[in-house]
Amino acid sequence: MRFERIYEFAPSIVWDALVDADLVSGWLAEASITPQAGGEFTLHWLTRDPPTVSVGWITRFEPFAQLEVTGRDSETMLFSLIEVTGGSRGTSTALTVDVASPIEPAFASRTPADWHTSLDYLAGLLRGHPADWQSLRINPAAASSARPDGVESDPAETKPRTRRHPHG
């Protein structure tokens, strides 16, 4: 699966949202991260019933350019950042997320939708609106339809092109 978005923030800001546990907890899942090559990358999925934990390790750590996380079963998430001109700040980040993970047929349609929602949450976090996991846990249906704190999707940030998702 491949997902592409453009965020109107410098790569250093988007990078922080990928490697800082507090920031990752504001858009993807509650996180515990050791931000270095070989570091642990643990996600606590609180909106799943029952809540689950995914553990992986950082296998590529190139600040402001690439972050790769490999899980226990060799599934990978590769985040690639490229600085591009444009946007209200003069510089933006093109983010590509490549996910290689086996997906059970029952989750084949849900997985890309989950990734699109998470990348929407990332846009909200970058604008100061982290995901409210407690509310989403109480109302899990909202996780696939709500934008964090009413943040609307910016067409420049929603250039999705994907077939799969790592939240399967």
DSSP 104-149: -GGGTTHHHHHHHHHHHHHHHHHTT----HHHHHHSGGGGGTPPGG
Find the range with the poorest average confidence among 21-25, 40-44, 119-123, 160-164. 160-164
105 domain-assigned: yes
Strand partners, 83: 93
72 domain-assigned: yes
Q: Which residues, at least 6 apart from 83, have a Cβ–Cβ distance to it below 8 Å?
A: 10, 11, 91, 92, 93, 94
Find the range with the poorest average confidence among 17-31, 33-47, 66-80, 137-151. 137-151
| Whole-number pLDDT of residue 60 | 98
Tokens 């590529």 map to which residue?
60
pLDDT band at 101 (very low <50, low <70, confident <90, very high): confident
162 domain-assigned: no
* CA gap 94, 156 in Å, rounded: 10
The yes-or-no verdict on residue 97 having pLDDT over 50 is yes
* Residue among 33, 88, 93, 87 at smallest CA distance from 61: 33
The yes-or-no verdict on residue 149 having pLDDT over 80 is no
**Number of domains the chain is built from:** 1
Say which residue, 80 or 150, is predicted with more confidence.
80
Q: Is 150 helix (H, G, I), strand (E, B) or coil?
A: helix
| Whole-number pLDDT of residue 159 | 38
| Whole-number pLDDT of residue 49 | 78
8 domain-assigned: yes
CA angle 145, 150, 153 (to 5 degrees): 70
CATH number at residue 70: 3.30.530.20
pLDDT, tens digit (0-9, with 9 covering 90-100), for 105-136: 777 777 888 899 999 999 999 999 999 877 76
Mean pLDDT, the chain, integer: 82
| Whole-number pLDDT of residue 91 | 93
Strand partners, 79: 67, 97
The yes-or-no verdict on residue 153 having pLDDT over 90 is no
168 domain-assigned: no
**Single pTM value for the model:** 0.79
32 domain-assigned: yes
Range of the domain at 24: 2-157
27 domain-assigned: yes
Q: Which ranges of 20-130 would DSSP assign to H, the alpha helix?
A: 21-24, 110-126
